[in-house]
């Protein structure tokens, strides 16, 4: 059994992942926290096999938390799950001691594969991050996830940008000269495509991805 602790400042994402693995026979979530300080404390208390952590968190970010965890408990394997695909962010997490790095929009199947891989002490990388700077970290144990990148239509991207600006479905419908029911349908389709759990998760995703389209 792979014991797992998850650190993420959005509780809804934790709840979604926890729900998915609730009856999994290989992976068991034994704790979750919303900031880096509590992550270090909980790891010290429970010493899981794998830690999933975001980078940006309150009190202590994932980079510093990973450094402290790996210094005290080198046998604990750290998997980064974040929206940040910038080279510097990836480098800092790997230098801190993480051996896995996936993006939040990669899907639950890739997350499962990443957990299983890093639990064996092997490296796992999302295929949608740049690898031209990772030569120092790549070796025979590396696994590159199979790309399951979600492709949104131009209309969906347009709606997502308006969602990121805080507009309601009614406001978006008026802006795009479409029926409100059409906007609601697009919202539901994006939640399904992106494997999100709710409308509020879609809003968070829209804000995080606002400048990446």
Second CATH level (architecture) for the domain 154-208: Orthogonal Bundle (1.10)
Tokens of 210: 């606002």
Closest of 74, 101, 79, 73 to residue 89, by C-alpha: 101
Per-residue pLDDT of the chain (213 residues; tens, 9 = 90+): 999 999 998 888 888 888 888 888 899 999 999 999 999 999 999 999 999 999 999 999 999 999 999 999 999 999 999 988 777 888 899 999 999 999 888 778 889 889 999 999 998 888 777 554 455 555 545 555 554 556 678 888 899 999 988 899 999 999 999 999 999 998 888 887 787 778 888 888 887 776 554
Domain ranges of the chain: 2-144, 154-208
CA 123 to chain CA mean position, Å:
16
Q: How far apart (Å, rounded) are the C-alpha atoms in residues 54 and 63?
A: 9
Indicate the pTM of the whole model: 0.65
2-144 is classed in which CATH architecture? 3-Layer(aba) Sandwich (3.40)
């Amino acid at each position: 059994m792979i014991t797992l602790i998850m650190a993420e400042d959005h509780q809804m994402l934790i709840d979604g992942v926890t729900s998915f693995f609730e009856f999994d026979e290989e992976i068991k979530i034994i704790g979750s926290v919303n900031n880096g300080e509590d992550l270090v404390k909980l790891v010290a208390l429970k010493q899981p096999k794998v830690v999933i952590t975001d980078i940006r968190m309150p009190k202590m970010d994932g980079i510093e938390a990973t450094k402290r965890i790996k210094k005290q408990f080198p046998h604990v394997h750290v998997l980064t799950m974040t929206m940040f695909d910038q080279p510097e962010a990836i480098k800092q997490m790997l230098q801190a001691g993480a051996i896995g790095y996936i993006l939040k929009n990669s899907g639950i199947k890739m997350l499962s594969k990443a957990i299983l891989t890093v639990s064996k002490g092997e490296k796992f990388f999302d295929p949608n991050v740049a690898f031209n700077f990772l030569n120092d970290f790549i070796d025979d144990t590396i696994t590159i996830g199979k790309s399951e990148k979600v492709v949104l239509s131009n209309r969906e991207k347009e709606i997502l940008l308006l969602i990121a600006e805080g507009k309601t479905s009614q406001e978006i419908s008026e802006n795009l000269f479409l029926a409100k029911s059409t906007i609601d349908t697009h919202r539901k389709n994006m939640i399904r495509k992106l494997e999100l759990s709710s409308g509020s998760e879609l809003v968070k995703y829209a804000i995080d991805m606002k400048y990446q389209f």
